[in-house]
Amino acid sequence: MKGHYNNILVPTDFSEQSLLALEQAYALAKILNVEITLLHVIPDTTGDIGLGLFSKWNPKMHQSDYEDSCNARLLQISESASKISWIKVNPLLLKGKVPDKIVMIARDIYAKFIVMAANSSDPEHKKSFIGSNTSRVIRDAPCPILTFNGNNIREQFETIVLPLDLTEETQQKVSKAIELAKYYNSTIRVISIILTDEKEVIEKLTSQLKQVKEYIENRDIYTTSKIIYGDKTLRKLTSYILDYAREINGDLIMIMTPETNLLEKFLGNIDNEIICMSKIPVLTVHPK
């Protein structure tokens, strides 16, 4: 493998969605000039059965045969991916609790990004929330996480949608958007959704939006800003963001994980809904 911060980690459970996430990682790996580590975790059968992003062990199959089967599949996918993408794809097979192993390997290989399927493998759940393993990885990962949903693979992130609120971590999210925009020569579309008539909130958001636009433009990145006035009794905040991204043909939505004890195990509703429902990739950045 290459040195520090020269890897993208892609967890796979061999499902169609996780393999599409691998394809989504190709373009990012090429532009960053990094390798891909393709990780499959055979779950600890005493742990998180039923949580998605792992293989379901067939009790009729001997454990060693099952592991051999997983290893052969992982090698085949890695070799094929390397030939198709011209990127070195390093297969890695581990056993244990899925989210713990993903986070551990992300730290061990100094992953620059984790790229993974957003939704649970369970078809009954995939439309309502992201998989529990995915949410735990997002919560604990040492690097940004690019979640992929649907089948709209983006070769370029030409248009980055950057929703802003009044949280203290706004500056960190803006900095990460600038970093990515410089790689892709992207346009950043900054938006704020106002669902209140409180004068103080409106004034703060309006002022912040102007400052952020100027800050990004001073870094030689084309930027637009927009305030969308909505009605929370009619539509959710999430729908305004996703509709805007669709209207402008956005390629990526950037969000930031919340920091609160109440969300220790699960993402906030808005973040969860954006990741789950977005038809384009979503990049989740951790506050530092």
Q: Could you write out the three-class secondary structure of 107-135?
A: HHCCEEEEEEECECCCCCCCCCCECHHHH
Check whether residue 83 and residue 107 sit in a common domain.
Answer: yes
Residue 159 is predicted with a pLDDT of 97
Interacting residues of 211 by C-beta distance below 8 A, sequence separation 6+: none
Which one of 148, 170, 191 terminates a domain?
A: 148
Decide if 153 is inside a domain.
Answer: no
Decide if 90 is inside a domain.
Answer: yes
Check whether residue 14 and residue 73 sit in a common domain.
Answer: yes
Residue 108 is predicted with a pLDDT of 94
Mean pLDDT value across the chain: 83
Decide if 16 is inside a domain.
Answer: yes
Task: Please name which of 149, 112, 117, 119 lies closest in space to residue 28, comparing C-alpha atoms.
Answer: 112
pLDDT digits (tens, 9 = 90+) for 153-198: 888 899 999 998 777 677 778 998 999 999 999 999 999 998 888 8
Is the predicted pLDDT of residue 123 greater than 60, yes or no?
A: no
Is the predicted pLDDT of residue 73 greater than 80, yes or no?
A: yes
Check whether residue 29 and residue 103 sit in a common domain.
Answer: yes
Decide if 2 is inside a domain.
Answer: no
- Of the segments 54-68, 99-113, 133-147, 221-235, which one has the largest average pLDDT value? 99-113
Domain of residue 223 covers 159-285
Which one of 148, 179, 195 terminates a domain?
A: 148
Which DSSP helix (H) or strand (E) runs through 29? helix 16-32
Please state, in angstroms and rounded to a whole number, the distance separating the CA atoms of residues 169 and 288. Answer: 8
Q: Taking the alpha carbons of 169, 170, 171, 173 in that order, is the dihedral positive or negative?
A: positive
Decide if 119 is inside a domain.
Answer: yes
Which one of 148, 172, 203 terminates a domain?
A: 148
pLDDT category of residue 145 using cuts at 50, 70 and 90 = very high
Residue 91 is predicted with a pLDDT of 96
CATH number at residue 141: 3.40.50.620
Structural domain total, the chain: 2
